[in-house]
């Protein structure tokens, strides 16, 4: 049985209605989901490397607050910055476009 939200409608039905009423909302949600995925990957990569934000900052030659901002607000991150972060945590960037 589909879970119902506080409005008494299954989530999928409510989502479809919202998307129909708000053109562009589906794309906006997809972008936000991708930003959250990148945010999680940055944080997980640093933790897997056993590094603090300060240590990553030293390796990138930036301050700790910059690394914190990258991890919490990755929207509009430049590919070069992403690559420097990846190198600092011992990884590499691999970008792929999917249909």
Q: What is the Cα–Cα distance from 83 to 68, expressed in whole angstroms? A: 16
DSSP string, 11-61: HHHHHHHHHHHSTTHHHHHHHHHHHHHHHHHHHHHHHHTT--HHHHHHHHT
Beta bridge partners of 4: 10
Contacts of 26 (CB under 8 A, 6+ apart): 19
Identify the residue with better confidence: 9 or 87.
Answer: 87
Provide φ and ψ at 10, rounded to 5°: -60, 145
The predicted structure's pLDDT at residue 87:
98
Complete domains list, the chain, with CATH: 11-88 (1.10.260.40)
Candidate from 6-10, 12-16, 74-78 with smallest mean pLDDT: 6-10
């Amino acid at each position: 049985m589909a879970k119902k939200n506080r409005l008494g409608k299954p989530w999928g039905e409510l989502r479809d209605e919202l998307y129909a009423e708000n053109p562009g909302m589906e794309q906006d949600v997809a972008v936000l989901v991708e930003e959250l995925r990148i945010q999680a990957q940055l944080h997980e990569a640093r933790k897997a490397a056993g590094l603090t934000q300060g240590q990553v900052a030293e390796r990138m030659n930036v301050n700790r607050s910059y690394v914190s901002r990258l991890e919490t607000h990755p929207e509009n991150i430049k590919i070069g910055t992403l690559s420097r972060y990846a190198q600092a945590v011992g990884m590499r960037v691999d970008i792929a476009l999917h249909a």
